[in-house]
A and B are shown apart, each in its own frame.
Chain A
Amino acid sequence: MSQNDTNPFSAIAHLESIKQCIQCGTCSGSCPLADLMDHAPRELFALLREGAFDEVLHSNTPWFCVSCYACMVRCPREIPVTDLMYAFKEVITKQGTAPKNLKMPDMYQAFSHNIKETGKVTESQVMARYGMKHPLDALKNIPLAIKMQMRGRLELKAQKVADPKSITRLFELTEIPKDKP
Protein backbone atom coordinates (compact mmCIF):
# COMPACT_ATOMS: atom_id res chain seq x y z
CA MET A 1 0.00 0.00 0.00
CA SER A 2 1.38 3.31 -1.00
CA GLN A 3 -1.09 5.68 0.56
CA ASN A 4 -0.45 9.39 0.50
CA ASP A 5 -0.29 10.57 4.10
CA THR A 6 -1.13 14.18 3.50
CA ASN A 7 -4.45 14.98 1.95
CA PRO A 8 -3.77 16.35 -1.55
CA PHE A 9 -7.32 17.68 -1.63
CA SER A 10 -7.07 19.68 1.59
CA ALA A 11 -7.02 23.10 -0.12
CA ILE A 12 -10.45 22.59 -1.69
CA ALA A 13 -13.10 25.01 -0.47
CA HIS A 14 -16.08 23.14 1.04
CA LEU A 15 -14.10 19.91 1.44
CA GLU A 16 -15.17 19.89 5.06
CA SER A 17 -18.76 19.58 3.90
CA ILE A 18 -18.28 15.88 3.11
CA LYS A 19 -18.17 15.26 6.85
CA GLN A 20 -21.88 16.05 6.77
CA CYS A 21 -22.54 13.27 4.24
CA ILE A 22 -25.01 10.70 5.56
CA GLN A 23 -24.19 8.19 2.82
CA CYS A 24 -27.78 8.13 1.65
CA GLY A 25 -26.79 7.56 -1.99
CA THR A 26 -29.16 10.16 -3.44
CA CYS A 27 -26.28 11.60 -5.46
CA SER A 28 -25.26 8.27 -6.96
CA GLY A 29 -28.89 7.41 -7.61
CA SER A 30 -29.44 10.70 -9.46
CA CYS A 31 -26.25 10.48 -11.48
CA PRO A 32 -26.75 9.74 -15.19
CA LEU A 33 -23.31 8.23 -15.60
CA ALA A 34 -22.93 6.42 -12.26
CA ASP A 35 -22.67 3.11 -14.12
CA LEU A 36 -19.44 4.20 -15.76
CA MET A 37 -17.84 5.45 -12.55
CA ASP A 38 -15.53 3.25 -10.50
CA HIS A 39 -16.77 4.93 -7.31
CA ALA A 40 -20.02 6.84 -7.72
CA PRO A 41 -20.14 10.08 -5.68
CA ARG A 42 -21.37 8.61 -2.37
CA GLU A 43 -18.59 6.04 -2.39
CA LEU A 44 -15.95 8.55 -3.45
CA PHE A 45 -16.80 10.72 -0.45
CA ALA A 46 -16.58 7.72 1.87
CA LEU A 47 -13.14 6.86 0.48
CA LEU A 48 -11.94 10.41 0.83
CA ARG A 49 -13.25 10.70 4.37
CA GLU A 50 -11.41 7.51 5.26
CA GLY A 51 -8.15 8.86 3.84
CA ALA A 52 -7.92 6.64 0.74
CA PHE A 53 -6.35 9.54 -1.17
CA ASP A 54 -4.64 7.45 -3.85
CA GLU A 55 -7.96 5.83 -4.75
CA VAL A 56 -9.50 9.24 -5.23
CA LEU A 57 -6.52 10.60 -7.17
CA HIS A 58 -6.80 7.72 -9.65
CA SER A 59 -10.57 7.46 -9.73
CA ASN A 60 -12.35 7.94 -13.04
CA THR A 61 -15.41 9.38 -11.30
CA PRO A 62 -14.76 13.13 -11.64
CA TRP A 63 -14.07 12.59 -15.35
CA PHE A 64 -17.47 11.06 -15.88
CA CYS A 65 -19.24 13.90 -14.13
CA VAL A 66 -21.17 15.73 -16.85
CA SER A 67 -22.00 18.60 -14.54
CA CYS A 68 -25.76 18.10 -14.60
CA TYR A 69 -26.12 19.25 -10.98
CA ALA A 70 -28.84 16.68 -10.30
CA CYS A 71 -26.99 15.46 -7.21
CA MET A 72 -26.45 18.96 -5.97
CA VAL A 73 -30.07 20.07 -5.97
CA ARG A 74 -31.13 16.80 -4.35
CA CYS A 75 -28.51 16.15 -1.66
CA PRO A 76 -30.30 16.36 1.69
CA ARG A 77 -27.15 17.70 3.36
CA GLU A 78 -26.60 20.40 0.75
CA ILE A 79 -23.17 19.13 -0.14
CA PRO A 80 -21.90 20.83 -3.34
CA VAL A 81 -21.21 17.50 -5.06
CA THR A 82 -20.69 18.91 -8.57
CA ASP A 83 -18.40 21.69 -7.38
CA LEU A 84 -16.35 19.09 -5.54
CA MET A 85 -16.05 17.01 -8.72
CA TYR A 86 -14.64 20.06 -10.51
CA ALA A 87 -12.21 20.69 -7.69
CA PHE A 88 -11.08 17.04 -7.69
CA LYS A 89 -10.37 17.26 -11.42
CA GLU A 90 -8.29 20.36 -10.85
CA VAL A 91 -6.16 18.61 -8.21
CA ILE A 92 -5.89 15.43 -10.29
CA THR A 93 -4.82 17.41 -13.37
CA LYS A 94 -2.20 19.23 -11.33
CA GLN A 95 -0.88 16.00 -9.87
CA GLY A 96 -1.03 14.22 -13.22
CA THR A 97 -2.83 11.18 -11.82
CA ALA A 98 -5.76 10.91 -14.26
CA PRO A 99 -6.19 7.27 -15.38
CA LYS A 100 -4.01 6.76 -18.46
CA ASN A 101 -6.52 4.84 -20.57
CA LEU A 102 -9.38 7.27 -19.98
CA LYS A 103 -10.68 9.16 -23.02
CA MET A 104 -12.19 12.14 -21.21
CA PRO A 105 -8.97 13.84 -20.08
CA ASP A 106 -7.69 13.68 -23.68
CA MET A 107 -10.92 15.21 -24.92
CA TYR A 108 -10.69 17.97 -22.30
CA GLN A 109 -7.10 18.63 -23.32
CA ALA A 110 -8.00 18.85 -27.00
CA PHE A 111 -10.82 21.27 -26.13
CA SER A 112 -8.63 23.43 -23.91
CA HIS A 113 -5.83 23.45 -26.48
CA ASN A 114 -8.22 24.66 -29.17
CA ILE A 115 -9.31 27.58 -26.97
CA LYS A 116 -5.73 28.43 -26.09
CA GLU A 117 -4.73 28.58 -29.76
CA THR A 118 -7.80 30.25 -31.27
CA GLY A 119 -9.91 31.59 -28.41
CA LYS A 120 -12.83 29.56 -29.71
CA VAL A 121 -13.87 25.99 -30.21
CA THR A 122 -14.24 24.42 -33.65
CA GLU A 123 -15.67 20.94 -33.26
CA SER A 124 -13.81 19.49 -36.23
CA GLN A 125 -10.48 20.75 -34.84
CA VAL A 126 -11.13 19.38 -31.36
CA MET A 127 -12.05 16.02 -32.87
CA ALA A 128 -8.95 16.05 -35.08
CA ARG A 129 -6.64 16.59 -32.12
CA TYR A 130 -8.47 14.11 -29.94
CA GLY A 131 -8.45 11.68 -32.89
CA MET A 132 -4.66 11.59 -32.88
CA LYS A 133 -4.92 9.65 -29.63
CA HIS A 134 -8.18 7.84 -30.35
CA PRO A 135 -8.36 7.33 -34.12
CA LEU A 136 -11.18 4.77 -33.91
CA ASP A 137 -13.45 7.16 -32.05
CA ALA A 138 -12.81 9.91 -34.55
CA LEU A 139 -13.62 7.54 -37.42
CA LYS A 140 -16.88 6.49 -35.81
CA ASN A 141 -18.03 10.09 -35.99
CA ILE A 142 -17.50 10.45 -39.72
CA PRO A 143 -20.93 9.21 -40.89
CA LEU A 144 -22.62 11.75 -38.63
CA ALA A 145 -20.18 14.44 -39.75
CA ILE A 146 -21.21 13.81 -43.35
CA LYS A 147 -24.87 14.16 -42.45
CA MET A 148 -24.16 17.41 -40.64
CA GLN A 149 -22.10 18.70 -43.52
CA MET A 150 -25.01 18.06 -45.90
CA ARG A 151 -27.24 20.20 -43.75
CA GLY A 152 -24.63 22.92 -43.53
CA ARG A 153 -23.98 22.32 -39.88
CA LEU A 154 -20.39 21.19 -39.67
CA GLU A 155 -17.91 23.98 -39.07
CA LEU A 156 -14.73 23.08 -40.90
CA LYS A 157 -13.26 26.52 -41.07
CA ALA A 158 -11.62 27.42 -37.78
CA GLN A 159 -13.49 29.93 -35.65
CA LYS A 160 -11.08 32.47 -34.16
CA VAL A 161 -11.02 35.58 -32.03
CA ALA A 162 -9.53 38.68 -33.67
CA ASP A 163 -6.31 38.40 -31.69
CA PRO A 164 -5.73 34.76 -30.69
CA LYS A 165 -2.46 35.76 -29.00
CA SER A 166 -4.40 37.57 -26.30
CA ILE A 167 -6.13 34.33 -25.30
CA THR A 168 -2.84 32.44 -25.34
CA ARG A 169 -1.54 35.21 -23.08
CA LEU A 170 -4.57 34.74 -20.80
CA PHE A 171 -3.63 31.07 -20.51
CA GLU A 172 -0.03 31.95 -19.66
CA LEU A 173 -1.05 34.52 -17.06
CA THR A 174 -3.25 31.97 -15.31
CA GLU A 175 -0.79 29.06 -15.43
CA ILE A 176 -0.28 27.28 -12.11
CA PRO A 177 3.10 25.65 -11.56
CA LYS A 178 2.88 21.82 -11.68
CA ASP A 179 3.38 20.00 -8.37
CA LYS A 180 6.06 17.35 -8.38
CA PRO A 181 4.39 14.14 -7.18
Chain B
Amino acid sequence: MKICFYPGCSFATSAGYKESTEAVCRKLNIELNEIPDWNCCGATVMFGENKLRATTLAARHFALVQTMGFEDLVTGCNACYATLRKAARLLDRDRELFQKTQEVLHNLGLELDRIPKVRHLLEVLMEAMPDSTSDKYKTLSVGAYYGCQLTRPDQELDKGWYPEILEHFLARIGFSVKEHSARTQCCGASHAVIYKNECQGLSHRIIREIANKGAQVITTVCPLCQFNLDQAQTQNNEPRLPVTYFTQLAGLALGLAPAELGLNKLLVSADKVLTRP
Protein backbone atom coordinates (compact mmCIF):
# COMPACT_ATOMS: atom_id res chain seq x y z
CA MET B 1 0.00 0.00 0.00
CA LYS B 2 1.15 3.56 -0.73
CA ILE B 3 -0.04 6.54 1.23
CA CYS B 4 0.49 10.25 0.91
CA PHE B 5 1.52 11.52 4.31
CA TYR B 6 1.31 14.93 5.96
CA PRO B 7 3.43 14.87 9.13
CA GLY B 8 2.72 18.34 10.54
CA CYS B 9 5.09 20.32 12.70
CA SER B 10 4.86 18.26 15.88
CA PHE B 11 5.37 14.84 14.36
CA ALA B 12 9.16 14.67 14.14
CA THR B 13 9.85 15.98 17.66
CA SER B 14 7.11 13.97 19.35
CA ALA B 15 7.90 11.12 21.73
CA GLY B 16 8.59 8.40 19.20
CA TYR B 17 5.56 8.91 16.97
CA LYS B 18 7.77 9.25 13.91
CA GLU B 19 10.00 6.30 14.79
CA SER B 20 7.08 4.00 15.55
CA THR B 21 5.05 5.07 12.52
CA GLU B 22 7.98 4.46 10.20
CA ALA B 23 8.88 1.14 11.79
CA VAL B 24 5.28 -0.15 11.67
CA CYS B 25 4.77 0.98 8.09
CA ARG B 26 8.03 -0.67 7.02
CA LYS B 27 6.92 -3.90 8.62
CA LEU B 28 3.48 -3.74 7.01
CA ASN B 29 4.81 -2.72 3.61
CA ILE B 30 3.11 0.63 3.66
CA GLU B 31 5.00 3.17 1.64
CA LEU B 32 4.90 6.56 3.38
CA ASN B 33 5.15 9.29 0.78
CA GLU B 34 5.67 12.53 2.62
CA ILE B 35 4.27 15.61 0.90
CA PRO B 36 7.41 17.42 -0.27
CA ASP B 37 7.78 20.89 1.14
CA TRP B 38 4.68 20.80 3.31
CA ASN B 39 3.86 23.83 5.45
CA CYS B 40 2.11 24.21 8.79
CA CYS B 41 -1.61 23.76 8.38
CA GLY B 42 -2.30 26.77 10.61
CA ALA B 43 -4.06 24.75 13.30
CA THR B 44 -6.71 26.48 15.36
CA VAL B 45 -4.90 29.79 15.07
CA MET B 46 -5.40 30.65 11.44
CA PHE B 47 -9.17 30.21 11.21
CA GLY B 48 -9.52 32.82 13.94
CA GLU B 49 -7.33 35.23 12.02
CA ASN B 50 -8.42 35.01 8.43
CA LYS B 51 -10.60 32.38 6.78
CA LEU B 52 -9.21 32.65 3.26
CA ARG B 53 -5.64 32.47 4.56
CA ALA B 54 -6.45 29.47 6.72
CA THR B 55 -8.10 27.67 3.85
CA THR B 56 -5.27 28.44 1.45
CA LEU B 57 -2.55 27.30 3.86
CA ALA B 58 -4.35 23.97 4.11
CA ALA B 59 -5.30 23.77 0.44
CA ARG B 60 -1.71 24.26 -0.66
CA HIS B 61 -1.36 20.60 0.34
CA PHE B 62 -4.45 19.59 -1.59
CA ALA B 63 -2.76 20.97 -4.71
CA LEU B 64 0.47 19.12 -3.82
CA VAL B 65 -1.40 15.85 -3.25
CA GLN B 66 -2.88 16.28 -6.70
CA THR B 67 0.56 16.68 -8.32
CA MET B 68 1.71 13.56 -6.50
CA GLY B 69 -1.18 11.65 -8.05
CA PHE B 70 -2.91 10.63 -4.81
CA GLU B 71 -6.61 10.71 -3.95
CA ASP B 72 -6.19 10.71 -0.15
CA LEU B 73 -4.02 12.52 2.32
CA VAL B 74 -3.11 10.92 5.65
CA THR B 75 -2.04 12.64 8.86
CA GLY B 76 -1.35 11.46 12.40
CA CYS B 77 -2.07 14.71 14.23
CA ASN B 78 -5.58 15.47 15.47
CA ALA B 79 -5.11 19.19 15.06
CA CYS B 80 -3.87 18.78 11.48
CA TYR B 81 -6.64 16.29 10.77
CA ALA B 82 -9.34 18.64 12.06
CA THR B 83 -7.85 21.67 10.33
CA LEU B 84 -7.36 20.03 6.94
CA ARG B 85 -10.84 18.51 7.09
CA LYS B 86 -12.35 21.83 8.00
CA ALA B 87 -10.69 23.47 5.00
CA ALA B 88 -11.84 20.61 2.76
CA ARG B 89 -15.42 20.94 4.03
CA LEU B 90 -15.50 24.71 3.52
CA LEU B 91 -14.04 24.47 0.02
CA ASP B 92 -16.57 21.84 -0.84
CA ARG B 93 -19.52 23.97 0.23
CA ASP B 94 -18.42 27.47 -0.66
CA ARG B 95 -17.91 28.06 -4.38
CA GLU B 96 -16.63 31.60 -3.91
CA LEU B 97 -14.08 30.58 -1.30
CA PHE B 98 -12.94 27.77 -3.59
CA GLN B 99 -12.35 30.17 -6.47
CA LYS B 100 -10.49 32.67 -4.31
CA THR B 101 -8.32 29.90 -2.91
CA GLN B 102 -7.61 28.62 -6.41
CA GLU B 103 -6.56 32.12 -7.44
CA VAL B 104 -4.09 32.58 -4.59
CA LEU B 105 -2.62 29.14 -5.20
CA HIS B 106 -2.38 29.86 -8.93
CA ASN B 107 -0.35 32.97 -8.07
CA LEU B 108 2.01 30.70 -6.19
CA GLY B 109 2.34 28.37 -9.16
CA LEU B 110 -0.02 25.66 -7.87
CA GLU B 111 -3.23 24.33 -9.37
CA LEU B 112 -6.15 23.05 -7.34
CA ASP B 113 -8.94 21.13 -9.09
CA ARG B 114 -10.07 18.56 -6.59
CA ILE B 115 -10.12 18.11 -2.86
CA PRO B 116 -8.55 14.94 -1.50
CA LYS B 117 -10.07 12.90 1.28
CA VAL B 118 -8.34 13.64 4.57
CA ARG B 119 -7.76 10.53 6.68
CA HIS B 120 -6.16 9.76 10.01
CA LEU B 121 -3.26 7.33 10.32
CA LEU B 122 -5.43 5.31 12.70
CA GLU B 123 -7.77 4.44 9.81
CA VAL B 124 -4.87 3.22 7.72
CA LEU B 125 -3.53 0.96 10.45
CA MET B 126 -7.01 -0.30 11.29
CA GLU B 127 -7.11 -1.70 7.78
CA ALA B 128 -3.53 -2.87 7.59
CA MET B 129 -2.82 -4.43 10.99
CA PRO B 130 -3.24 -8.21 11.22
CA ASP B 131 -5.26 -9.77 14.06
CA SER B 132 -3.17 -10.79 17.03
CA THR B 133 -2.17 -14.41 17.37
CA SER B 134 -0.22 -14.01 20.61
CA ASP B 135 -1.05 -13.65 24.29
CA LYS B 136 1.99 -11.58 25.07
CA TYR B 137 0.12 -8.34 25.82
CA LYS B 138 -3.19 -9.81 26.91
CA THR B 139 -2.52 -8.74 30.49
CA LEU B 140 -1.56 -5.19 29.62
CA SER B 141 -4.58 -2.94 30.16
CA VAL B 142 -4.70 0.14 28.02
CA GLY B 143 -6.83 3.27 28.36
CA ALA B 144 -7.54 4.73 24.92
CA TYR B 145 -7.48 8.49 24.72
CA TYR B 146 -8.88 10.04 21.52
CA GLY B 147 -8.56 13.71 22.31
CA CYS B 148 -11.28 15.96 21.13
CA GLN B 149 -10.75 16.61 17.46
CA LEU B 150 -10.63 13.13 15.96
CA THR B 151 -14.36 12.48 15.90
CA ARG B 152 -15.61 16.04 16.22
CA PRO B 153 -17.30 17.87 14.74
CA ASP B 154 -18.24 15.71 11.76
CA GLN B 155 -18.41 12.34 13.59
CA GLU B 156 -17.52 10.53 10.41
CA LEU B 157 -15.02 8.11 11.96
CA ASP B 158 -17.11 7.37 15.04
CA LYS B 159 -19.45 8.97 17.59
CA GLY B 160 -18.42 12.45 18.70
CA TRP B 161 -18.62 11.98 22.43
CA TYR B 162 -18.04 8.29 23.12
CA PRO B 163 -16.17 6.68 20.23
CA GLU B 164 -15.01 3.05 20.38
CA ILE B 165 -12.87 2.40 17.32
CA LEU B 166 -9.59 2.70 19.17
CA GLU B 167 -10.72 0.15 21.78
CA HIS B 168 -11.74 -2.24 19.02
CA PHE B 169 -8.42 -1.75 17.32
CA LEU B 170 -6.38 -2.36 20.48
CA ALA B 171 -8.35 -5.47 21.39
CA ARG B 172 -7.93 -6.85 17.90
CA ILE B 173 -4.14 -6.43 17.97
CA GLY B 174 -3.84 -8.18 21.32
CA PHE B 175 -4.17 -5.70 24.20
CA SER B 176 -6.67 -5.64 27.00
CA VAL B 177 -8.69 -2.40 27.09
CA LYS B 178 -10.23 -0.51 30.00
CA GLU B 179 -13.47 1.37 29.48
CA HIS B 180 -13.42 4.92 30.87
CA SER B 181 -15.25 8.16 30.32
CA ALA B 182 -12.46 10.61 29.58
CA ARG B 183 -11.86 9.43 26.04
CA THR B 184 -12.76 12.68 24.30
CA GLN B 185 -12.39 15.15 27.14
CA CYS B 186 -10.18 18.01 26.10
CA CYS B 187 -6.70 18.39 27.59
CA GLY B 188 -6.51 22.14 26.99
CA ALA B 189 -4.58 22.01 23.71
CA SER B 190 -2.05 24.80 23.24
CA HIS B 191 -3.70 26.76 26.04
CA ALA B 192 -2.08 24.29 28.41
CA VAL B 193 1.32 25.73 27.51
CA ILE B 194 0.65 29.31 28.57
CA TYR B 195 -2.17 28.79 31.07
CA LYS B 196 -0.36 26.00 32.80
CA ASN B 197 -1.90 26.24 36.24
CA GLU B 198 -5.39 26.80 34.88
CA CYS B 199 -5.21 23.85 32.47
CA GLN B 200 -3.28 21.36 34.55
CA GLY B 201 -6.55 20.19 36.07
CA LEU B 202 -7.89 19.17 32.66
CA SER B 203 -5.08 16.71 32.04
CA HIS B 204 -5.16 15.43 35.61
CA ARG B 205 -8.87 14.72 35.37
CA ILE B 206 -8.22 12.58 32.30
CA ILE B 207 -5.25 10.73 33.79
CA ARG B 208 -7.00 10.08 37.09
CA GLU B 209 -10.12 8.76 35.39
CA ILE B 210 -8.07 6.35 33.25
CA ALA B 211 -5.96 5.26 36.25
CA ASN B 212 -9.04 4.76 38.42
CA LYS B 213 -10.51 2.38 35.88
CA GLY B 214 -7.38 0.25 36.18
CA ALA B 215 -5.40 0.98 33.04
CA GLN B 216 -1.61 0.64 33.23
CA VAL B 217 -0.85 2.66 30.15
CA ILE B 218 -2.57 5.33 28.09
CA THR B 219 -2.49 5.38 24.33
CA THR B 220 -3.04 8.45 22.16
CA VAL B 221 -3.43 9.33 18.49
CA CYS B 222 -2.08 12.90 18.49
CA PRO B 223 1.29 14.54 19.31
CA LEU B 224 -0.24 17.32 21.37
CA CYS B 225 -2.49 15.00 23.36
CA GLN B 226 0.50 12.79 24.14
CA PHE B 227 2.59 15.77 25.14
CA ASN B 228 -0.02 17.30 27.43
CA LEU B 229 -0.83 14.08 29.25
CA ASP B 230 2.83 13.08 29.52
CA GLN B 231 4.13 16.41 30.82
CA ALA B 232 1.22 16.87 33.24
CA GLN B 233 2.65 13.96 35.21
CA THR B 234 6.15 15.38 35.58
CA GLN B 235 5.38 17.79 38.42
CA ASN B 236 3.12 15.97 40.82
CA ASN B 237 2.72 12.78 42.72
CA GLU B 238 -0.45 11.58 41.06
CA PRO B 239 -0.60 8.16 39.38
CA ARG B 240 2.09 7.89 36.77
CA LEU B 241 0.84 6.30 33.61
CA PRO B 242 3.07 6.08 30.54
CA VAL B 243 1.45 7.88 27.61
CA THR B 244 2.17 5.99 24.40
CA TYR B 245 1.16 6.35 20.78
CA PHE B 246 -1.11 3.74 19.24
CA THR B 247 1.66 3.18 16.69
CA GLN B 248 4.04 2.18 19.48
CA LEU B 249 1.60 -0.42 20.72
CA ALA B 250 1.03 -1.58 17.16
CA GLY B 251 4.78 -1.96 16.82
CA LEU B 252 5.00 -4.07 19.98
CA ALA B 253 2.16 -6.23 18.69
CA LEU B 254 4.16 -6.77 15.51
CA GLY B 255 7.14 -7.90 17.58
CA LEU B 256 9.29 -4.80 17.09
CA ALA B 257 11.74 -3.77 19.81
CA PRO B 258 10.83 -0.83 22.13
CA ALA B 259 13.97 1.03 21.09
CA GLU B 260 12.90 0.92 17.45
CA LEU B 261 9.61 2.52 18.47
CA GLY B 262 11.07 5.50 20.29
CA LEU B 263 9.60 4.36 23.59
CA ASN B 264 12.67 5.72 25.40
CA LYS B 265 11.46 9.25 24.61
CA LEU B 266 8.46 9.23 26.93
CA LEU B 267 8.74 11.49 29.98
CA VAL B 268 6.96 8.92 32.15
CA SER B 269 8.89 5.75 31.42
CA ALA B 270 7.04 2.74 30.03
CA ASP B 271 9.88 0.27 30.63
CA LYS B 272 8.32 -1.39 33.66
CA VAL B 273 4.83 -2.00 32.32
CA LEU B 274 5.94 -3.05 28.87
CA THR B 275 8.59 -5.53 29.92
CA ARG B 276 7.39 -8.98 28.96
CA PRO B 277 9.21 -12.31 29.26
Contact = CB atoms under 8 A, between A and B. Distances in A.
Contacts of B43: 111, 121
Contacts of A127: 193
A173 B37 contact: no
Given A69-B160, A103-B195, A111-B43, A89 B60 contact: no
A160 to B, nearest CB: 10
Contacts of B160: 69, 73
Interface string A93-130: 10000000001100110011001000111110001001
B135 interface: no
B152 interface: yes
B49 interface: yes
B52 A174 contact: yes
Contacts of A74: 161
A101 to B, nearest CB: 13
Nearest to B39: A119
Contacts of B148: 66, 68-70
Given A115-B40, A153-B265, A108 B161 contact: no
B234 interface: yes
A170 B185 contact: no
Interface in A44-94: 62, 64, 66-70, 72-74, 82, 85-86, 89-90, 93
A90 B48 contact: yes
Interface stretch (B8-16, B170-178, B212-220): B8-16
B32 interface: no
B257 to A, nearest CB: 18
A171 B234 CA distance: 38
Nearest to B266: A151
Interface stretch (A1-9, A16-24, A134-142): A134-142
Interface string B38-77: 1110111111111111001100100000000000000000
B13 A108 contact: no
B82 A32 contact: no
Interface residues on B, range: 35 or more
A72 B9 contact: no
Q: Is the interface of B mostly helix, strand, loop or mixed?
A: loop
A130 B108 contact: no
B44 A90 contact: no
Contact of B56 (A36, A68, A111, A170): A170
B264 A151 contact: yes
Contacts of A108: 45, 48-49
B49 A72 contact: no
Contacts of A169: 107-108
B194 A107 contact: yes
B146 to A, nearest CB: 11
Contact of B191 (A64, A69, A153): A64
A73 B153 contact: yes
Interface string B235-270: 000000000000000000000000000001111000
A66 B234 contact: no
Given A72-B153, A112-B49, A141-B193, A32 B231 contact: no
Contact of B189 (A68, A120, A121, A122): A68
Contacts of A122: 9
B116 interface: no
A53 to B, nearest CB: 18
A69 B152 contact: yes
A147 B14 CA distance: 13
B194 A130 contact: yes
Given A147-B267, A174-B52, A66 B9 contact: no
A173 B104 contact: yes
Q: Which of A108, A140, A170 has the most chain B CB within a 10 Å cutoff?
A: A170
A155 interface: yes
Contacts of A155: 12-13
B53 A32 contact: no
B202 interface: yes
Contacts of B184: 70
B260 to A, nearest CB: 15
A158 B10 CA distance: 13
10 contacts: A69-B148, A69-B149, A72-B153, A73-B155, A89-B48, A104-B194, A107-B194, A151-B266, A170-B108, A174-B52
